[in-house]
Amino acid sequence: MIFFYLALFCSLVAGGPTQYYVDCNATSPGNGSLAGPWNSLGSVNSFVFSPGDVLSFKSNITCKGVVAPLGSGNLTHPIRIMSYPPDSINGPPILDGDGNNYTLLLKNQDHWRISNLAVTNPAADLGRRQGILIMADDGKVHSDMVVDHNTVYDVAGQTNKATHSSDFAGSAGISINTSNGSRIDDVWVRDNKVQDCGGGAIKVRPGQATNQGRNARVSYNSIDACGGDGVIIAYADSPSIDHNVASNLGKGKYPWTGGNFAAMWVMCDHNPVIAHNVVYGSAMSLYDSEAFDCDWGNTGTCLVEYNYSHDNAGGSFLNCDGCGDPKGPTQIVRYNVFENDCRMVSVGELPELWFCNNVVYCPKQDFSINVPPTTHFVNNIFVGTANATLPTGSGVDWKSNFFQSVTPPTENGFTGNPGFVNPGLAGKTLGAAFGYRVKPDSPVLSKGSVVHGNGNLDFFGHDVSNYTAPNLGAYSGAGVSL
Ligand X SMILES: *[C@@H]1O[C@H](CO)[C@@H](O)[C@H](O)[C@H]1NC(C)=O
Query: Is the four-CA dihedral 431, 87, 246, 253 of positive or negative sign?
Result: positive
What 3-state class would DSSP assign to 69? coil
- In angstroms, give the least distance from the CB of 60 to ligand X: 4
- For every residue of 56-67, DSSP letters joined together read EEETT-EEES-B
52 lies in the binding site for ligand X (CB under 6 A) = yes
Q: By CB under 6 A, tell whether 85 contacts ligand X.
A: no
Q: Which stretch binds ligand X (CB under 6 A): 33-41, 222-230, 348-356, 472-480?
A: 33-41
Nearer to ligand X, 157 or 396 (CB): 157
CB 207 within 8 Å of CB 180: no
Pick the stretch among 179-187, 288-296, 399-407, 411-419 that binds ligand X (CB under 6 A): 179-187
Task: Print burial letters for 49-83: b (CB count within 10 Å at least 16), e (below 16).
Answer: bbbbbbbbbbbebebebbbbbebbbeeeebbbbbb
Alpha carbon distance 263, 309 (integer Å):
10
* Nearest approach, Cβ of residue 51 and ligand X (Å): 3
Strands (E), 206-336: 213-214, 217-219, 222-224, 227-234, 236-237, 240-242, 245-247, 264-267, 273-275, 278-280, 292-294, 301-305, 308-310, 317-319, 330-334
Q: Which of 56, 121, 151, 177 binds ligand X (CB under 6 A)?
A: 177
Of 132-140, 190-198, 264-272, 347-355, the segment contacting ligand X by CB under 6 A is 132-140
- Considering only residues 282 through 311, tell me which ones interact with ligand X, judged by CB under 6 A: 306
Shortest CB 381 distance to ligand X, Å? 17
CB of 434 to ligand X, least distance (A): 7
Q: How far is the CB of 349 from ligand X (least distance, A)?
A: 27
CB atoms inside a 10 Å sphere around CB 87: 8
Integer Rg of the chain from CA = 25
Helix, strand, coil shares, percent, the chain, to 5:
5, 40, 55
Alpha helix stretches (DSSP H) within 236-282:
none
Of the pair 30, 413, the CB lying nearest ligand X is at 30
| 44 phi, psi to nearest 5 deg | -65, -45
Instruction: Spell out, one character per residue from 414 to 443, where the chain touches ligand X: x when CB under 6 A holds, - when not.
Output: ----------------xx------------
Nearer residue to ligand X within complex by CB, 101 or 330:
101
With CB under 6 A as the contact rule, the residue among 8, 9, 31, 412 that binds ligand X is 31
The candidate with the shortest Cα–Cα distance to 270, out of 240, 290, 246, 309, is 240
Name the residue type at position 254.
Y
Binding pattern for the stretch 352-391 against ligand X, x by CB under 6 A and - elsewhere:
---------------------------------x-x----
What's the CA gap between 351 and 294, in Å, rounded? 10
Q: Which of 8, 13, 75, 478 binds ligand X (CB under 6 A)?
A: 75
Size of the site for ligand X (CB under 6 A): 44
Closer Cβ to ligand X, 346 or 367, answer by number: 367
H helix count then E strand count, the chain: 3, 41
Q: Which span sits near ligand X by CB under 6 A: 79-87, 151-159, 350-358, 459-467?
A: 459-467
Residue of 6, 7, 13, 25 interacting with ligand X (CB under 6 A):
25
**444 Cβ neighbours under 8 A, 6+ residues apart:** 381, 402, 414, 418, 419, 438, 471, 472, 473
Among 69, 170, 239, 250, binds ligand X (CB under 6 A): 170
Contact with ligand X (CB under 6 A) among 29, 139, 393, 440: 139
Binders of ligand X in range 181-220 (CB under 6 A): 181, 203, 205
163 binds ligand X (CB under 6 A): no
The CB-nearest residue to ligand X is 139
Report d(CA 84, CA 79) in Å as an integer: 15
For ligand X, which is the closer residue by CB, 90 or 412? Answer: 90
Please list, in sequence order, all residues whose beta carbon lies within 8 angstroms of the beta carbon of residue 411, skipping any fewer than 6 positions away: none
User: Which residues here bind ligand X, judged by CB under 6 A?
Assistant: 17, 25, 31, 33, 35-36, 51-52, 60-61, 74-77, 90-91, 101, 128, 137-139, 166, 169-170, 175, 177, 179-181, 203, 205, 276, 306, 385, 387, 430-431, 453, 456-457, 459-461, 466
